[in-house]
Amino acid sequence: MEIYRAKDYKDLSRKAANIIQAQVILKPDSILGLATGSSPVGVYEKLIEWYQKGDLDFSKASSINLDEYKGLPPENCQSYRYFMNTKFFDHINIDKSRTFIPNGLEPDADKTCREYDNIIESCGGVDLQLLGLGHNGHIGFNEPADAFSRGTHCVNLTSSTINANKRFFSSEADVPRQAYTMGIRSIMLAKKILVIVSGKDKASILKKVLYGPITPQIPASILQLHANVTIVADEAALTQM
């Protein structure tokens, strides 16, 4: 596991974007595993900037996102499809028909999850998976549990996650209680994993993830077992190391 120390969020975003840029240059038809949340916003801004300068070409790339709120249509400004379109896809030359996100509107959870696992499989797996880190150690929407999850599944969000994500909604009551997420096993099958962690409020969970016991109660702790993980964290997130 490589840990890169960034000065601040801006530096973190540039370092992480550089790793994604290298991936796309070396393998133009990369399958990128992408994430939402506030952590990757700066990374997407950098990638857009380099695309606009002509340094990056996404025309052959595909993307598979980690998760989506259950019940939100793509045009809802809090849906992860809306997030990805407005913060990234609308500004680069990726073929939108090859950008995959679970279908939040499908009420049949089994169907959605099966279909999403088929998509992941038919893409041949993720080359580089970008991850943020939840305050309780969640990755995607894989919340603390008694066992590590395998494929895509529907989760009940914990109160910690609802509380953390309510800042994007007009009230806590508006935060969906369920979401579809790629499973831990699928995440672990990515060839490379890039985790970005910013802010003092993530320092204690980051320490547990990297050096604590591997337990499904801290889902990201399983990353200790992955052969190719890069962490890019800012100084604030590394204060407990």
Task: For the CB of residue 213, give the shortest distance to ligand GLP in the complex, in Å.
Answer: 21
The count of C-alpha atoms lying within 13 angstroms of the C-alpha of 123, restricted to the half-sphere facing its C-beta, is: 27
Set 68, 127, 143, 234: catalytic member: 143
115 is catalytic: no
Residue 136 is a binding residue for ligand GLP (CB under 6 A): no
- What is the radius of gyration, based on Cα positions, of the chain? 17
157 phi and psi angles, rounded to 5 deg: -70, 145
Contacting ligand GLP within 55-84 (CB under 6 A): 66-67
Residue of the chain from 33, 42, 134, 183 that contacts ligand GLP (CB under 6 A): 134
Catalytic residue among 68, 138, 142, 153: 138
Q: Scan residues 114-133 and list those touching ligand GLP (CB under 6 A).
A: 132-133
Q: What counts of helices (H) and strands (E) characterise the chain? A: 7, 10
Binding test (CB under 6 A) with ligand GLP, winner from 9, 20, 37, 238: 37
Which of 70, 82, 6, 84 lies closest to 40, judged by CA?
84
Which residues make Cβ contacts (< 8 Å) with residue 117, sequence separation at least 6? 151, 152, 186
Marked catalytic residue, from 65, 103, 136, 142:
136
- Single residue of 13, 23, 30, 36 touching ligand GLP by CB under 6 A: 36
Q: Which of 12, 16, 32, 35 binds ligand GLP (CB under 6 A)?
A: 35
Q: Determine the Cα–Cα distance for residues 219 and 240; give it in Å rounded to an integer.
A: 19
Q: Where are the beta strands (DSSP E) in 74-173?
A: 99-100, 128-131, 153-156
Structure tokens at 38: 């506030």
Binds ligand GLP by CB under 6 A, chosen from 140, 176, 183, 219: 140
CB of 59 to ligand GLP, least distance (A): 26
Catalytic residues: 67, 136, 138, 143
Interface residues toward ligand GLP, by CB under 6 A: 35-39, 66-67, 132-134, 140-141, 161, 165
